[in-house]
Structure 1
Amino acid sequence: MLATMSGELPPNINIREPRWDQSTFLGRANHFFTVTDPRNLLLTEEQLEGARKTVQDYRQGIVPPGLTENELWRAKYIYDSAFHPDTGEKMVLIGRMSAQVPMNMTITGCMMTFYRTTPAVVFWQWINQSFNAVVNYTNRSGDAPLTVNELGTAYVSATTGAVATALGLNSLAKHVSPLVGRFVPFAAVAAANCINIPLMRQRELKLGIPVTDENGTRLGESAQAAQQAIAQVVVSRILMAVPGMVIPPFIMNTLERKALLKRFPWMSAPIQVGLVGVCLVFATPLCCALFPQKSSMSVRSLEAELQAQLQESHPALRRVYFNKGL
């Protein structure tokens, strides 16, 4: 039986915000190590729904007897790992941040193993951009959906741009050392992120994303906020790829000269995937933590129309806040 909140838990735990202080890098890193934990993918439907119920009940002032603060925070992080912060909808499994490490280590490892032939480049860049498109759409900011036409155009443009970039760089790499050639996939991924993320979130750039005051009260939509949000996501995604795509090539270049890989060349792909995975376990949460999830900007940096509107309705307001997406 559910009771009104008068038991063990204090009524003022703000589970709308992360557990750790998001104004510090360390606090954000702790938050994202929890959010990107791949073990969240193994949670059952029952566990996800149980976490959602616990969180929603607590927000309404209801708590099951015996629920501890640690259990409440665990439920909050399970809920956040699977449900979109703005729409509340359940996110597709491979689009969740907890899928970033296993999906990216497999795709990136294969991209870096099979980068020498044109069919392999096209196939793995297509797979990578298809995955990125799902992630970028799943982790968009705001609650306005893309139309099927917008989604299709964005996906085709981003994938074509990435494949063209990879093929162009690959043809140039034939004239340089094998080690430099190994960095072609990274250059293609970096360029593709600059194309894919803005295209998959083009609706935000056109119509804006919700901006709020410090207490979460919605004040309007801003395209300027969307530009800042998307720029921050592009930077963090490119940096996220750096360790996994820069460190393994040096190691693999050395290993391929050794007798073991010459004797068992099939081991190259699993070793590369494993190396990328080790890098991504740390790079993913640390790069997500570079910028606060609840980002902010000065009212003066907003569109003139929204500025005028806010000066009239909230004359003392200096900053607005928004979910930057991931």
Structure 2
Amino acid sequence: MEAATASQVSGGLRINLDEPRYDQNTFSGRAKHFFITTNPLNLFCSNKTLEEAKILVEQYRNGQEPAGLTEDQIWRAKHIYDSAYHPDTKEKMFIIGRMSAQVPMNMSITGCMMTFYKSTPAVIFWQWINQSFNAVVNYTNRSGDHPIPVKHLGLSYVLATGGALVTALGLNSQVHRFPPLIARYVPFSAVAAANCINIPCMRSQEMISGIPVFDENGNRLGTSQKAAKKAIFQVVFSRVCMAMPGMLTPPIIMQRLEKGSLLMKYPWLNAPIQVGLVGAFLVFATPLCCALFPQKSSMAMSHLEPELQEKLAALPNPPSTVYFNKGL
């Protein structure tokens, strides 16, 4: 996938709005793309601003945009449009399900999970809230062409919530044997376990039927279950890595702060400080971990299923590498 090249807006080459602005073959290009995609400031765009951005993008696609627009203005409108409208259905997405809501929502939920980790009712409540939020995100960002069945979303929600609770409550019952700091890492273990359950369950049909694989020119070559498994592994790995900085570092900081005079005098500051710390890490961890693997992932032909290898080997110019969309 090549980055959309710079262009003259008023005549000459046109900007390719179907591709990201930055080169997706490099980590830095992918990181720039996701820093824009997950920018929480997009949540403050008014309905009027969103509608104006949508109209401008549609006008540009049809070659009917107003004269005198700069390339930056076109891209700004595209990024605002992408932050709020579903890429397939073109409908405005529920606000907390948008990628731009990931940081503020996750910092609030994760911060509270890590603050109220000792009480069993609090553990149950915040793990349930976290998986409910994940279900909203998954439903909001479902494919418009091949939507995930509601029963799959429901099953993944139930199993992920159950897995998170079993992990959290089970570990909480054992951590009294270890130093106090270890107990602070229970929420991360629960979140990691839930991700390992939720994503494979939600995308189980892909592992059964396979996902489309393409050559470097975008020609469909067939479907592959092994490509699906690789895609799902990459997404799970990215999601777990995304949670690590904000859930592994703040406990060390909070452990020290709680020994100081500030939190002893003002204990109510515990939750706001923890939420703020998690947010500071998530602002960077979210886009950087989304960028770990290219959206257009690849696999050597020799790693595909034997029957698909035979099919591709019979082509006039068999590809050595196939490509597929890994998802998010």
CA, structure 1 residues 202+89, in 2 after alignment: closer, same or farther (shift >3 Å)? farther
Q: CA deviation at 1:9?
A: 5.1
Rounded Cα–Cα distance in structure 1 between residues aligned with 2:225 and 2:87: 19
Q: TM-score, normalised by structure 2?
A: 0.88
The worse-fitting range, judged by mean Cα deviation, of 136-145 and 224-233 is 136-145
Q: Which residue of 1 aligns with 2:239?
A: 237
* 1:112 aligned onto 2:147: no
Matching residue of 1:63: 65
Identity of aligned residues (%): 64
1:91 to 88, 93, 102: 93
Distance in 1 of aligned mates of 2:218 and 2:12: 21
Which residue of structure 2 aligns with residue 287 of structure 1? 289
Q: 135-144 or 176-185: which moved more?
A: 135-144
Task: Work out whether residues 156 and 201 of structure 2, in 8 Å CA contact, stay in contact via their aligned partners in 1.
Answer: yes
Looking at structure 1, the residues matched to 327 and 176 of structure 2 have their Cα atoms a distance apart, in angstroms, of 38
For residues 201 and 9 of structure 2, the distance between their equivalents in structure 1, rounded to whole angstroms, comes to 49
Confirm whether residue 207 of structure 1 aligns to residue 209 of structure 2. Answer: yes
Amino acid at match of 2:269: M
Q: How far apart are 1:219 and its partner, in Å?
A: 4.7
Give the equivalent residue in structure 2 for 1:301. 303
Does the Cα contact within 8 Å between 2:27 and 2:292 map onto a contact in 1?
A: yes
Post-superposition offset of 1:163: 0.8
| DSSP-derived class of the 1:322 partner | strand
Shift, 1:315, TM fit: 3.6
The yes-or-no answer on 1:177 pairing with 2:193 is no
Q: Aligned letter for 1:295?
A: S
Does the 8 Å CA contact 1:86/1:141 hold for their aligned counterparts? yes
Q: Deviations over 1:29-79 (max 9, x none)?
A: 111111110011122333334333433443344433222111111122223
Residue 49 of structure 2 aligns with which residue? 47
Unpaired runs of 5+ in structure 1? none
The TM-score with structure 1 as length reference comes to 0.89
Is the alpha carbon distance of 1:286 and 1:200 closer, same or farther for their aligned partners in structure 2, counting shifts above 3 Å?
A: same
Give the SS at the match of 2:174: helix
The CA distance in 2 between the partners of 1:106 and 1:44, in whole Å, is: 23
CA separation in 2, counterparts of 1:60 and 1:129?
Answer: 41
The structure-2 alpha-carbon separation of the partners of 1:300 and 1:94, relative to structure 1 and needing over 3 Å to count, comes to farther
Q: Distance in 2 between matches of 1:132 and 1:263?
A: 36
RMSD: 2.5
* Aligned-partner SS, 1:211: strand
1:258 corresponds to which letter in structure 2? G
- Structure 2 gaps of 5+ residues are 1-6
Task: Name which of 268, 278, 283 aligns with 2:270.
Answer: 268
Q: Partner residue of 1:11? A: 13
3-state SS of paired residue (2:113)? helix
**Secondary structure of the equivalent of 2:125?**
helix
User: Contact 2:86 / 2:92 at 8 angstroms: preserved in 1?
Assistant: yes
What is the DSSP-based 3-state SS (H/G/I as helix, E as strand, rest coil) of the residue aligned with 1:174?
A: helix
| Aligned residue identity for 1:171 | S
1:177 Cα deviation (Å)?
A: 1.6
1:292-325 CA-to-partner distances (Å, cap 9, x unmatched) read 1222223443344544555566744343333322
Q: Name the aligned partner's letter for residue 174 of structure 2.
A: L
More displaced 10-residue stretch of structure 1: 228-237 or 8-17: 8-17
* Cα 1:220/1:10, change in 2 over 3 Å: farther
The answer to whether residue 152 in structure 2 is matched with residue 150 in structure 1 is yes
Say whether the 8 Å CA contact 1:136–1:197 is kept in structure 2.
no
Relative distance call for 1:214 and 1:14 in structure 2 (3 A) is farther
Q: 1:87 to 1:20 in 2, by over 3 A?
A: same
Question: Which residue of structure 2 aligns with residue 277 of structure 1?
Answer: 279
**Corresponding residue for 1:322?**
324
Paired positions, count: 322
Shift of 1:89: 4.6
